[in-house]
Structure 1
Amino acid sequence: MSKPVEIPFETTILVRDTCLCLHVQRAARALARRFDEALRPLGLTNGQFSLLMSLNRPHPPAIGSVASLLAMDRTTLTAALKPLERRELLTIAPDPKDKRSRLLSLTADGKALLAQAVPIWKREHAIVDTLLGPDGSERLRNDLRQIA
């Protein structure tokens, strides 16, 4: 039998304190919980809000375009669309120019729900902006864009 490899506890501390992936994941979870809680009275999660907002365009986007914007694979996006479609907040229709493609549109109910959600999102975002200090949100967005 081979001798088990021991990783020094100091390495665990180093990773805990310096791992960018860990810190971004923790911050993302905290932000998601904050916005999930704020949007809960509307029956939305932060992910559903982002998905619906991504459909608020002058022309219905194709599934691939939305998946790219949200950094999701098409299968995951399709699964995320189903509950919103059941709630009649969006429609999925064939593209008249390419029957293989599907276009996504907000319904009147979807637009009305977004209209209720935007002030909640703005309020929560203002709190986060305050927590991050002057120019903190913009710096963070720019830094995250560099990584993405």
Structure 2
Amino acid sequence: MRLDDLQDDDCFALRQASRHISKLYERYLSEAGITPTQFSILRTLGRCPGLTMVRLAKAMVMDRTTLVRALKPLLQRGLVVASCEGQGYRRLRVVLTRRGLTKLDEAVVHWATAQARFERSFGKQQAAHLRTELFRMTGNVSEE
């Protein structure tokens, strides 16, 4: 494969863009002591309290094993708690703690700075259009 062949590679382009944008958010969110993935988990739980592991994994587009690895530091730091419920304790719910809410409030400030920086460099309308298209794409792509 030649380097110019990559210009037609959608997967390569998306992964390259994702890594580039993730670095920007990592730089800002690190000031709050969390990663972009951890921020997304906290934010998702802040908007949808008490999600089961299955529903949280689906919302994050992660398999359960990857989600468990991502949750581990949040659990250890007391930012979230997981509680079992239901028959035989088969349903594990993840809840944001008061400390987690405080961390989320702190991190939102850093996230907003990263968001504004991205929108300044990429263009506010282009960023909105990109988000719309990416959410449309992930809503239309079925797992095979």
Q: In the alignment, what sits opposite 1:112?
A: 102
Match 2:80 to one of 68, 90, 102: 90
Larger Rg: 1
- Identify the range of structure 1 (128-137 vs 59-68) with the bigger mean alpha-carbon deviation: 128-137
Q: In the alignment, what sits opposite 2:142?
A: none
Q: In the alignment, what sits opposite 1:121?
A: 111
Shift of 1:79: 1.5
Q: In the alignment, what sits opposite 1:143?
A: 133
Distance 1:103 1:17 in 2: 43
Q: In the alignment, what sits opposite 2:53?
A: 63
Distance 1:72 1:17 in 2: 28
What amino acid does structure 2 have at the position aligned with 1:87?
Answer: R
Q: In the alignment, what sits opposite 1:54?
A: 44
Contact residue 45 and residue 96 of structure 2 kept, 8 A = yes
Q: How many residues align structurally?
A: 138
Unpaired runs of 5+ in structure 1? 1-10
TM-score using structure 1 length: 0.85
Q: In 2 relative to 1, CA 80–58 (structure 1 residues): closer, same or farther, beyond 3 Å? A: closer
Q: Which runs of at least 4 in structure 1 moved beyond 6 Å after TM superposition?
A: none
**In percent, how many aligned pairs have the same letter?**
28
Q: In 2 relative to 1, CA 111–97 (structure 1 residues): closer, same or farther, beyond 3 Å? A: farther
User: Relative to total residues, which structure has the larger helix share, 1 or 2?
Assistant: 2
TM-score using structure 2 length: 0.87
What SS does structure 1 have at the residue aligned with 2:47? coil
For CA contacts below 8 A with separation 6 or more, give which structure has more relative contact order.
2
After superposition, what is the alpha-carbon deviation per residue over 1:31-73, rounded to whole angstroms, capped at 9, x for unaligned?
A: 1111111111221111111111111135411011110011000
Asked if 1:13 is matched to 2:34, the reply is no
